[in-house]
Amino acid sequence: MKIVMLGAPGAGKGTQAKMIVEKYGIPQISTGDIFRANIKNGTELGKKAKTYMDQGALVPDELVVDLVVDRLSQDDCKNGYVLDGFPRTIPQAEALTAALAAQGEKLDYAIDVEVPDENIVNRMSGRRACVNCGGTYHIVFNPTKVEGICDACGGKLILRDDDKPETVQHRLSVYHAQTQPLIDYYKAEGILKAVDGTKNMADVFADITAILGE
């Protein structure tokens, strides 16, 4: 069961990916984790990636795909995996498809968690984070007992910069320009499945398990 998760920032795809991992016992693969592990372990790929990162440059697509494919060849991925946050662009998707095909493999599903931009802006601008313990809340969906005060430690809650409406709008415009074309790409590949991400978390997951099977 080889899955790629798609959806705008704040659509909830990361949460759904974690739930898939727990239910089906397959690993969640993120490029950030792969970079950190390879750099920490001093692998050749890790050293190459680090030279770009140290310069503040983007790691080239070919190298990212090499790192991902290397990770997917490990034992814990033999029953499948969930890719979260990769691929982000059409060249990455094409390179991944080609690399998997060279090993006689392919992705089974691309699951798109659909949420309108307006909902995402409202959802993210309602998030609050504790400056002390990092706990997260939502003023509508998960409010604290006392407004502005963390339930866990009594710390002050703030609206983080990356949750401010103008920042969210910018992230959404980048997503629509770069990543949304992947939806058409995977539709053409015949593996795209869309779910309504405006439903509550459990219902979205029920829709996903209906696609993946019990």
Catalytic residue among 88, 164, 187, 199: 88
Tokens in use for 62? 């070919």
Catalytic residue among 48, 171, 187, 199: 171
Catalytic residue among 13, 71, 128, 193: 13
Q: Does residue 123 carry a catalytic annotation?
A: no
Look at residue 69 in the predicted model and tell me its pLDDT: 92
Report residue 116's pLDDT band, with 50, 70 and 90 as the boundaries. Answer: very high
pLDDT single digits (tens) 41-58: 999 999 998 898 888 888
pLDDT single digits (tens) 142-171: 999 999 999 999 999 999 998 899 999 998
Domain boundaries, the chain: 2-212
What count of other Cβ atoms lies within 10 Å of the Cβ of residue 110?
Answer: 23
Look at phi and psi of residue 125 and say left if phi exceeds 0, alpha if psi is from -120 to 50, else beta.
alpha
Q: Does residue 171 carry a catalytic annotation?
A: yes
Share of the chain above pLDDT 70, in %: 100
Q: For residue 175, give every residue at least 6 positions away whose Cβ sits within 8 Å of its Cβ, in sequence order, or none.
A: 8, 9
Q: Does residue 160 carry a catalytic annotation?
A: yes
- What dihedral angle (degrees, nearest 10) is formed by the CA atoms of 127, 165, 198, 90? -120
Q: Does residue 71 carry a catalytic annotation?
A: no
Catalytic residue among 18, 47, 156, 160: 160
pLDDT at 94 over 90: yes
Report residue 85's pLDDT band, with 50, 70 and 90 as the boundaries. Answer: confident
Contact (Cβ atoms closer than 8 angstroms) between residue 35 and residue 59: yes
pTM of the model: 0.83
Task: Report the top-level CATH class of 2-212.
Answer: alpha beta
Longest dimension (CA), the chain: 56
Look at residue 141 in the predicted model and tell me its pLDDT: 84
What count of other Cβ atoms lies within 10 Å of the Cβ of residue 162?
Answer: 14
